[in-house]
């Protein structure tokens, strides 16, 4: 007989694994040259692409560079903090480079985050991106991980750079 989990949020799949790095360009080159992972789409993760950003519940401004690629069914993200308050910068200062968060896709990001917050897990950072994307970074301490319920935008509305160049 199959058991049913009492969890109020049920993750059906991990869509992304993200790492924080000090030098994004060097990291994408290393992933490409050592493991053949890529090509990479590189974004300036800042306004106007990212908006309504909150950091520990308060409005905030920050800039990062991020790089995304698919590795099978999972997206790999590399994030380099540039300036401003962010959980990426916090992580880099506290832990150095390394695994930062796991992402799962949901239809309603705010509703999912609200359920997790009510369960006692704070939203460390949140925001919107592109035309209809949204995210929350939730600190789920018993799982020793930050989990990101997210909805990917259908249109980011900005020009990307690529590595290697197309």
Q: In the chain, where are the structural domains located?
A: 16-163
Confidence (pLDDT) at 155: 82
Is residue 111 within 8 Å of residue 23, measured between CB atoms? Answer: no
For CA atoms 130, 132, 138, 144, the dihedral sign is negative
Tell me the pLDDT tens digit for each residue of 116-136. 999 999 999 999 998 899 999
Distances (CA, A) of 34 to 3, 5, 28: 42, 40, 10
Tell me the pLDDT tens digit for each residue of 54-99. 999 999 999 999 999 999 999 999 999 999 999 999 999 999 999 9
CATH 3.10.180.10 fits 16-163, yes or no: yes
pTM for the structure as a whole? 0.94
């Amino acid at each position: 007989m199959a058991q049913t989990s009492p969890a109020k949020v049920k993750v059906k799949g991990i869509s992304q694994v993200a790492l924080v790095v000090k030098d994004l360009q060097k990291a994408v080159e290393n992933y490409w040259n050592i493991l053949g992972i890529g090509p990479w789409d590189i974004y300036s993760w800042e306004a106007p692409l990212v908006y309504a950003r909150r950091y520990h519940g308060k409005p905030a401004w920050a800039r990062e560079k991020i790089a995304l690629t698919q590795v099978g069914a999972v997206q790999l993200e590399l994030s380099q903090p540039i300036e401003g308050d962010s959980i990426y910068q916090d992580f880099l200062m506290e832990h150095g480079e390394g695994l930062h968060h796991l992402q799962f896709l949901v239809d309603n990001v705010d509703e999912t985050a609200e359920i997790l917050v009510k369960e006692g897990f704070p939203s460390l950072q949140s925001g919107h991106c592109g035309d209809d994307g949204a995210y929350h970074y939730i600190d789920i301490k018993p799982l020793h991980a930050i989990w990101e319920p997210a909805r990917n935008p259908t249109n980011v509305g900005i020009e990307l750079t690529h590595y290697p160049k197309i």
